[in-house]
Amino acid sequence: MQTTAFDPIGVEVSDLDLTTVDDEQVAALRGLLADRGVVVVPGQDGLDDDGFAAFLRRFGDLTFTVGETPVPGRDDLNVVSNVGRTTPPRSVFHVDTSYVANPPAYTALRAVRIPSRGGETLFTDQYRAYETLPADVRVHLAGRTITHVVSGLRPEDAGPETSAEHPVFRRHPVSGRTSLYLSTPERCVAISGMDRGASRQTIGYLYEHSTAEENTFRHAWSPGDVVMWDNGCVLHRADHGDVAGDRVMHRGMVAAS
């Protein structure tokens, strides 16, 4: 495995065939994900959905979000596509399914069709987001939690299956580093020990801080790319602006252990 680090986050791994990875390589990838957040593996043209799912299962059980469009004939992968849409899909920086008690540990995309222009995926470095917060903000928020809900729900309408509390500052179970853990403000509705107004203002500040351009890595897709990321230390979004052509990805998510 040859690696090339990106700035400020992410790493490309070359000379790797995801259909034949062994335990040692999986352990190395798990470490890279915990440290660099995003792993780009190019040249996987021979990887089909069976091989993609088998690779992801090396990291844990697969999980599926209710309401997503499954890959035809499969209940473990879903389709992310702009085909047939009259308006571009909407995407903002977020963490996948953070409104459950144990959100997916990893998410991965396999490039199926790449547009001739645009369609990049962006990632933020949530370790750096935490480390660059002013010291007084870190002290003020230490030990607090954020309530995450399904998009559009009010806190008072959320239930056990549509709401979960997570630490504002999360210690990563593999790297031991601390990240700023939040999602889109649509899903982050309250901070413990704060009233609604203060919560909204603080969440807005944290989100803007996290998603600043200098904290962002942009991946331009190529045919055969597989990109996997650690939901504990990155936010992500697709850039659907100025896309020319079909953009089709197959997505898999690995449950938290």
Q: What is the pLDDT of residue 160?
A: 67
Q: Half-sphere exposure of residue 118, counting CA atoms within 13 Å on the CB side?
A: 12
Q: What is the pLDDT of residue 63?
A: 95
Q: What is the pLDDT of residue 65?
A: 85
Options 3.30.70.920, 3.30.830.10, 3.60.130.10, 3.30.70.270; which CATH number does 2-87+96-123+220-229+245-254 get?
A: 3.60.130.10
pLDDT over 90, % of the chain: 86
List every span in the chain annotated with CATH 3.60.130.10: 2-87+96-123+220-229+245-254
Q: What is the pLDDT of residue 153?
A: 72
Q: Is 186 left (phi over 0), alpha (psi -120 to 50) or beta?
A: alpha
3-state secondary structure of 139: helix
Phi, psi dihedral angles at 193 (to 5 degrees): 80, 10
pLDDT in tens, 174-216: 999 999 999 999 999 999 999 999 999 999 999 999 999 999 9
SS3 sequence of 214-227? HHEEEECCCCCCEE
Local mean pLDDT, 10-residue blocks, the chain (257 residues): 95 96 97 98 96 98 89 94 84 94 97 94 98 98 96 70 93 97 96 96 98 97 97 96 92 94
3-state secondary structure of 153: coil
Extract the tokens encoding 229: 């990321």
What is the distance between the alpha carbons of residues 68 and 52, in angstroms, rounded to a whole number?
18
What is the distance between the alpha carbons of residues 61 and 54, in angstroms, rounded to a whole number?
10
